Structure 1
Amino acid sequence: MKFPTRFGMGEVRGDQEVARRCYKTAISDKGKGKVLSIANVELRGDMEPERPQPVEDVLQVPIEEGNAERVLQVGSQLGEAEKGELITFLRDNKDVFAWSAEEVPGISPNVMVHKLSVDPARPPIRQKKRNFAPERQQAIAEEVSKLLQAGFI
């Protein structure tokens, strides 16, 4: 099993037979007050995931003059000529950027299609309904309505 640590990826290898014996021992010693020691365990509760950061500072460049909502980021360490060319290029091609789901045109099935690898001889099985917290339920409903309006689903 691999897992993230503060120092990179950690890896644990185990033996199923030893794990079963340990589990049986833990169950059988449960009522006897015996404590099994676990060495070299790193608790994950105090660890916050590291977010990737830009290598350099970035400049916020509006894609359209006067519209501060649609902003691109350009590296601050670029030369003035390169920075100017890049900003001009991005502004000239602003029609290829999608700022919301409604702005993304449909994709032809000739280019991409999603298929499930299922046996057609088997009948479909309905999954159990999942219950979510009210705020999550509202967020899900909003996202589904956006996708319906955009024609994605």
Structure 2
Amino acid sequence: MKFPTRFGVGEVRRDQQVARQCYKTAVMDKGKDKTLSIANVELIGDVEPERPQLVEEVLQVPLEEGYEERIIQVGSQLGEVENEELITFLRTNRDVFAWLGDEALRISPEVMVYKLSVDPLRPPTRQKKRNFAPERQQVIAEEVSKLLQAGFIREVHYSD
């Protein structure tokens, strides 16, 4: 964050609390002959950002018996009747959930296909080939092969 000081523009990186404090001080002291003390501010420190906490605990509920990796989370502050009704509803409608790509084959292409509205009179622009690290290249190839096997994508050849 950048903020005005008497000596020019001050800059604080990575710590939002310190940045907000400096900004408030700069705004409140506008017109006064004060300097901001940044002696105790570590600009490139190892400050771990505080992660937001859950509002309530959640219960891990298996959606199907025999598939322990298919877990849904239900709020723990629901009443017992509401909790049972919600779990029963989710289990009876479990066919809506797609855990793997090939489980979503029943979705109509009209829902998930996106068409670009491009001007047919303008020639397409060829993008520059992107180079990735070998580990990322392998992960990309695995994901593309999964999508090809599931029938979500297909290879298209364009003439030059």
Aligned-partner SS, 1:39: strand
What's the secondary structure of 2:85's corresponding residue? helix
- Distance in 1 of aligned mates of 2:72 and 2:60: 6
- 1:36-51 equivalent positions in 2, closer than 5 A: 39-44=9-14
Note closer, same or farther for the CA distance 1:42–1:126 as it changes in structure 2 (3 Å cut). Answer: same
Identity of aligned residues (%): 68
Q: Which runs of 5+ in 2 are unaligned?
A: 15-43, 154-160
1:41-80 aligned within 5 A: 41-44=11-14, 53-80=53-80
Q: 1:136 to 1:63 in 2, by over 3 A?
A: same
Alignment deviations for residues 85-125 of structure 1 (CA, whole Å, 9 cap, x no partner): 1111111111111101111124233x454222322112222
Whole-angstrom CA distance in 2 between matches of 1:112 and 1:74: 28
Could you list the per-position Cα deviations for residues 30-86 of structure 1 after superposition, in whole angstroms to 9, with x for gaps in the alignment?
xxxxxxx76331213656666655321100000122431111100011111111111
Give the root-mean-square deviation of aligned CA atoms.
2.6
Matched positions, count: 119
The equivalent of 1:108 in structure 2 is 109
- Partner letter of residue 136 of structure 1? R
1:73-152 equivalence runs, <5 A: 73-105=73-105, 106-109=107-110, 111=111, 113-152=113-152
Q: What amino acid is aligned across from residue 39 of structure 1 in structure 2?
A: V
2:56 and 2:75 in contact (8 A); partners too = yes
Residues in 2 aligned to 1:146 and 1:49: alpha-carbon distance in whole angstroms: 36
TM-score for both structures, normalised by structure 1: 0.66
Compared CA separation, residues 95 and 49, structure 1 to 2 (3 A)? farther
Does the 8 Å contact 2:2/2:10 carry over to 1? Answer: no
Secondary structure in 2 matching 1:73: strand
Under a length normalisation based on structure 2, what TM-score does the superposition of the two structures give? 0.63
Shift of 1:139: 1.0
Q: Which runs of 4+ in 1 moved over 4 A?
A: 45-53
